[in-house]
Amino acid sequence: MATVLSVSGSPSATSGTARLLRHLDERLIAQGHEVMALDVRTLPAEALLGADFAHPAIVRATALFAQADGVVIGTPVYKAAYAGLLKSLLDLLPQYALAGKTVLPLATGGSTAHVLAIDYALRPVLASMGPAHVTPGWFTLDKDITVGEDGTLTVAPGSAEALAQVTDRFSAALGGRTTLLAAAG
């Protein structure tokens, strides 16, 4: 069906955000999509902070965005805003890196006080990058994500259901996009 880039903007190696994204990646793969994962924390800090557009890792990350039909952006929320690490990457991408793409914004955080971070902080930046469609996103409380000793991810039932719904809407929007692209080609 479609190629999806799943981007984790978390700086943590044990990130609930990244684990949640990988969980949703499995759902998208089961629906027939090809999913590529990008953990921004694996990109060289000197390239991100030094705005080194020509660094090979940044060039590769930019190419992943270009290759994708859809992009899932996941971020933890800190001080009512998306992660600075994610901001660093978004700043290095071309102005219209999301042109024509379908985008799903997701966020995690410790308090419902940050639930509007998607709509007031992240969505405007994503919209400025030219996507065809930014689907409704979802904010998941940290307490709703648990990882067992064996590494198994469990999402609280209410959040799991909501995440499944937004992921399925995103998938359906991708299906429509790829049908239009095939007809135009």
74: containing domain: 3-184
Taking Cα atoms as reference points, which of 162, 171, 148 lies closest to residue 118?
Answer: 162
What total number of domains does the chain contain?
A: 1
Of all helices (H) and strands (E), which one includes residue 11? none
Q: What CATH number corresponds to the domain at position 180?
A: 3.40.50.360
pLDDT tens, position by position, 120-177: 999 999 999 999 999 999 999 999 999 888 888 999 999 999 999 999 999 999 986 5
pLDDT tens, position by position, 29-57: 999 999 999 999 999 999 999 999 999 99
Residue labelled with tokens 């990058």: 129
